[in-house]
């Protein structure tokens, strides 16, 4: 009988997985003894329960988990309950829906932004690169959701290939998410330079520098995420079932970081400051400046409208009206501000959380941070999925190009279908 066939029996006894993870070893041993006397379990049943105890002991020994009654961390109260409920019942389905929708939406973004009249703008090239990073992140997340939330809980089999994939998932999502951060930062700085130095923007914001900025945004995360590469590794655990030894493979902290809490804190400091908080602070400052620029432009328009009934100034010259280019620039700035604000809403909580872990230590990460992992994941996925909606609502040129592209395709497909149908009838 396989390792997975006894698991439903525990589910029938209403032993929830989350409750099981919090059971003390002494309680589980007592449960095994009472089960043997009361239910007359077979040797195989007892072996399965002992294996589960072994997994629990392995988890505690390798991760140095501190019991909740010794370190009572306040992990959010009602928010913690909501996070646990969402993670156990809704995250897998909602995440797949968001990933599918986001992948389709970002493909549409790329189709529109790479049109000849759109691709000439460096801002649109950066947005295209951002859409590519979001697609890669979402496409990778779908099999992770299936494996981690649907396949693994049913089998409780931990093969080496599964551990390799989980390790790959940890690294690739970190790299792609950091790439999105770098691209958003490039986007903000690019818009700031274009508005701050309008007379020199054709020199400062050249096509070559745009390509260079995008390339750096994709290469730099490979270097920034080096601490993550050495923090997590694959560990093994032996269990015995039906007098046969099996090896279970898990992803866990490396021995170096488990033995040295200070080193782990330094790693979280680097992650919190360099990858999260510093970019968020820069984006906040630039976003505030862009918002002020938008308000100044709005005031300038109101002043010009108030003088519309007087076409001439005191000197006899015509008053200058806001040009079409300026109006388009204002709409683009508003759209980018919305993109940046949504990004900050997603990233700031993660940065603050990592910063607190750097201060308090590993137990905060083990007891609290991982509880909100699913919520932070879904916020990041939603942020990457709704850019298409923002572009449609806030960018007239994007809407126009989108309509032209797909209207022509639909009309072309319809006309070709009618031609084939007519020729068939004739």
Q: What is the pLDDT of residues 361-415, one digit of tens each?
A: 667 776 777 788 898 899 889 988 998 888 888 888 888 888 888 876 665 555 5
Q: Are 153 and 17 in contact (CB under 8 A)?
A: yes
Look up the pTM and report it: 0.74
Q: What is the CATH number of domain 78-224+260-307+324-418?
A: 1.20.1070.10
Position 7 scores a pLDDT of 31
Position 44 scores a pLDDT of 66
Average pLDDT, the chain: 76
- Give me the long-range contacts of 57-65 (CB less than 8 A, separation at least 24): 57/25, 58/237, 58/250, 59/21, 59/250, 62/235, 62/250, 62/252, 62/253, 62/258, 63/252, 63/253, 63/258, 63/366, 64/258, 64/362, 64/366, 65/366, 65/367
Residues 6+ apart with CB under 8 A from 398: 112, 113, 118, 391, 392
Residue 297 above 60 pLDDT? Answer: yes
Structure tokens at 142: 């779908």
Position 9 scores a pLDDT of 33
Domain residue ranges of the chain, discontinuous segments joined by + = 78-224+260-307+324-418
Q: What is the pLDDT of residues 17-65, one digit of tens each?
A: 444 444 444 555 565 556 555 556 666 666 666 666 666 655 555 444 4
Residue 423 or residue 352, greater confidence: 352
Structure tokens at 391: 């572009």
């Amino acid at each position: 009988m396989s390792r997975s066939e006894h698991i439903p029996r525990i589910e029938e006894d209403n032993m929830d997985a989350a409750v099981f993870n919090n059971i003390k070893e002494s309680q589980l041993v007592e449960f095994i003894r009472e089960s043997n006397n009361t239910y007359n379990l077979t040797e195989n049943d007892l072996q399965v329960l002992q294996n589960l105890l072994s997994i629990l002991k392995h988890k505690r020994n390798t991760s140095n988990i501190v019991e909740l009654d010794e370190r009572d961390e306040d992990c959010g109260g009602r928010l913690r309950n909501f996070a646990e409920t969402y993670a156990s019942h809704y995250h897998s389905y909602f995440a797949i829906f968001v990933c599918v929708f986001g992948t389709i939406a970002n493909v549409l973004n790329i189709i529109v932004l790479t049109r000849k009249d759109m691709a000439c703008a460096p801002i649109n090239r950066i947005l295209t690169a951002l859409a590519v990073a979001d697609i890669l992140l979402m496409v990778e997340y779908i099999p992770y959701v299936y494996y981690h939330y649907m396949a693994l809980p049913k089998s409780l089999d931990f093969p080496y290939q599964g551990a390799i994939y989980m390790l790959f998932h940890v690294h690739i999502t970190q790299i792609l998410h950091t790439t999105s951060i770098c691209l958003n930062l490039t986007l903000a700085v690019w818009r700031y330079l274009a508005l701050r130095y309008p007379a020199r923007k054709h020199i400062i914001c050249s096509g070559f520098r745009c390509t260079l900025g995008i390339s750096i945004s994709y290469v730099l995360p490979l270097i920034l995420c080096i601490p993550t590469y050495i923090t997590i590794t694959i560990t093994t655990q032996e269990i015995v079932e039906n007098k046969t030894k099996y090896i279970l493979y898990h992803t866990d902290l490396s021995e170096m970081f488990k033995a040295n809490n200070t080193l782990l804190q330094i790693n979280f400091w680097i992650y919190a400051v360099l990858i999260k908080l510093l970019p968020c602070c820069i984006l906040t400052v630039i976003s505030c400046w862009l918002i002020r620029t938008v308000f100044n432009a709005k005031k300038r328009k109101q002043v010009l409208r108030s003088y519309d009934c007087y076409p001439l100034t005191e000197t006899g010259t015509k008053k200058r009206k806001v040009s079409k280019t300026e109006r388009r620039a204002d709409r683009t700035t508003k759209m980018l501000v919305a993109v940046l604000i949504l990004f900050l809403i997603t990233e700031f909580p993660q940065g603050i959380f990592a910063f607190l872990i750097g201060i308090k230590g590993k137990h905060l990460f083990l007891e609290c941070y991982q509880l909100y992992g699913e919520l932070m994941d879904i916020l990041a996925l939603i942020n990457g999925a709704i850019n298409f909606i923002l572009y449609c609502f806030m960018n007239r040129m994007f809407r126009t190009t989108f309509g032209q592209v797909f209207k022509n395709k639909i009309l072309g497909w319809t006309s070709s279908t009618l031609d084939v149908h007519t020729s068939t009838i004739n």
